[in-house]
Amino acid sequence: MTAQLAPVVASAEVAPDPAPRSPVRRARRSRGSAGRILVYAILLVTLVGTLIPFVWMFLGSVKTEQELRQRPPTWWPQTFTWDNFAAWFGRLDIGTFFVNSIVVAVFTVLGTLLFCSMVGYALAKLEFPGKRLLFGLVLVTLMVPGVVTFVPLFVVVSRLGLVSTYVALILPFLVGPLGVFLMRQFIGEIPDSLIEAARIDGASEIRIFLRIVLPLCGPALATLAILTFLSSWNNFLWPLVVAQSEDMYTLPVALSLYSVGQNATNYGVLLAGSVLVITPVLLLFLALQKYFIRGITTTGIK
């Protein structure tokens, strides 16, 4: 669980909500403490540190290639240009790449939420022979780095004739050991008495899972959803290898295709593309932030 908390705390600083304002006032009223000021100073520095790369990306995306390569670099664009974005919308079929990325991310997230919570529930609350061994196996696969299984996985996908299909892009990521582990730990905290009460009332296992367990897992599901979405959205190597025609490329593959050459990088196009790739995720995160942080807090209390 601690491993899960770390990145979340870091991202929580991205956009401090109105919430911190009232503690500030209260602190001032109670003659302000040096400690509090220090905490906010640290938070402010981290906030600036987190925001600078984004600011650089947004400002850089409207600079000319010449200015981007200038030494010393400039902060504010000397000449403002939309050319880098025009390259994406004019020449390239960005709509297709966007749709591909969204389809893959959405189905990967839905699949992960469903399957990981099902496996997690079984491993946490059901009694069956070999349960500990099974959980052990799941944990063991957590230790195997993805690159080791990369080529064999591709060979399997290729022999199944799935190369260059959405299925190939989604299927391998529908269930993962990390998600199973996360859900099992979380479901394990739900009191047995709740589940037993439902069972006594005559609810089937499916019904217990759908009506009792899943609704209580909100915070864990939110965490898992965001983690899965981000890793799917940013995934580069697998889509690169599996998509053998351009109409199956996802955004990261397209980004690399059109801006990184063998010997030179077109930084303007790269930054403009990054803005287009990152903005939707950023907006989504800002919109869901409240639920996300609430989820973390409740998880923390447990």
Partner 1 sequence: MIRTKLTTTAAVTAAAALLLTGCGRSADGPAAGEALELSDDAAAGTVTVWAQGTEGEALKEFVAPFEEANPDVEVEVTSIPWDSAQNKYQTAIAGGSTPDIGMLGSDWLPGFATALTPVPSEIDTSGIFPFAVESANIDGTLLGVPWYVETRVIFHRTDLMKEAGFEEFPTDWDGLKELARAYKEKAGADFGIAIPAGGWNGFIGTLPFDYSGGAEVMDADQQEWTIDTPEMVQSLEYLKSYFDEGLADNRPSTETGSASANLVSGSVPMFLSGPWDIGGLETAGGPGFEDKFDVAMIPAAPGATSKSFAAGANLAVFKGAENPDAAWKLIEWLNQPEVQVDWFETVRDLPAQQSSWEDDALTSDPMIAVFGEQLESVGIAPTVSTWSEVSAAADTQMERIFRGGADVQETLTELQATADGLGTSR
CA atoms within 13 A on the CB side of 233: 20
Any contact of residue 251 with partner 1 (CB under 8 A)? no
Any contact of residue 263 with partner 1 (CB under 8 A)? yes
Any contact of residue 262 with partner 1 (CB under 8 A)? yes
- Contact criterion met (CB below 8 Å) for 79 and 170: no
Any contact of residue 150 with partner 1 (CB under 8 A)? yes
Q: Which is nearer to partner 1, 135 or 238 (by Cβ)?
A: 238
Q: Which is nearer to partner 1, 158 or 185 (by Cβ)?
A: 158
Any contact of residue 83 with partner 1 (CB under 8 A)? no
Tokens of residue 204, six digits: 């089937």
- Name the minimum Å distance from CB 7 to partner 1: 14
Query: At 54, which amino acid appears?
Result: F
- Name the minimum Å distance from CB 232 to partner 1: 16
Any contact of residue 50 with partner 1 (CB under 8 A)? no
- DSSP, collapsed to helix, strand or coil, labels residue 265 as strand
Of 137, 155, 210, 287, the residue at the interface with partner 1 (CB under 8 A) is: 155
Q: Which is nearer to partner 1, 191 or 261 (by Cβ)?
A: 261
Q: Which is nearer to partner 1, 157 or 208 (by Cβ)?
A: 157
Any contact of residue 151 with partner 1 (CB under 8 A)? yes
- Contact criterion met (CB below 8 Å) for 219 and 299: yes
Calpha distance 231→287 (Å, rounded): 19
With CA atoms as reference, report the closest residue to 10 among 293, 228, 288.
Answer: 293
Backbone dihedral angles phi then psi of residue 246, each to the nearest 5 degrees: -65, -25
Calpha distance 173→220 (Å, rounded): 18
> Interacting stretch for partner 1, rule CB under 8 A, among 131-139, 216-224, 258-266, 275-283?
258-266
> Interacting stretch for partner 1, rule CB under 8 A, among 14-22, 115-123, 154-162, 292-300?
154-162
Q: Provide the terminal-to-terminal Cα distance of the chain, rounded to the nearest Å.
A: 11
Of 12, 36, 59, 65, the residue at the interface with partner 1 (CB under 8 A) is: 65
Q: Site for partner 1 (CB under 8 A): how many residues?
A: 34
Calpha distance 220→228 (Å, rounded): 12
Phi-psi label, residue 96: left if phi above 0, alpha if psi -120 to 50, beta otherwise? alpha
Phi-psi label, residue 157: left if phi above 0, alpha if psi -120 to 50, beta otherwise? alpha
Q: How far is CA 32 from CA 36, 47, 149, 181, in A?
A: 7, 22, 56, 43
Q: Which is nearer to partner 1, 89 or 236 (by Cβ)?
A: 236
Any contact of residue 3 with partner 1 (CB under 8 A)? no
Q: Which is nearer to partner 1, 165 or 289 (by Cβ)?
A: 165
Task: Give contact residues for partner 1 (rule: CB under 8 A).
Answer: 65-66, 69-71, 145, 147-148, 150-152, 154-155, 157-159, 163, 236-237, 240-241, 244-246, 253, 256-257, 260-265, 267
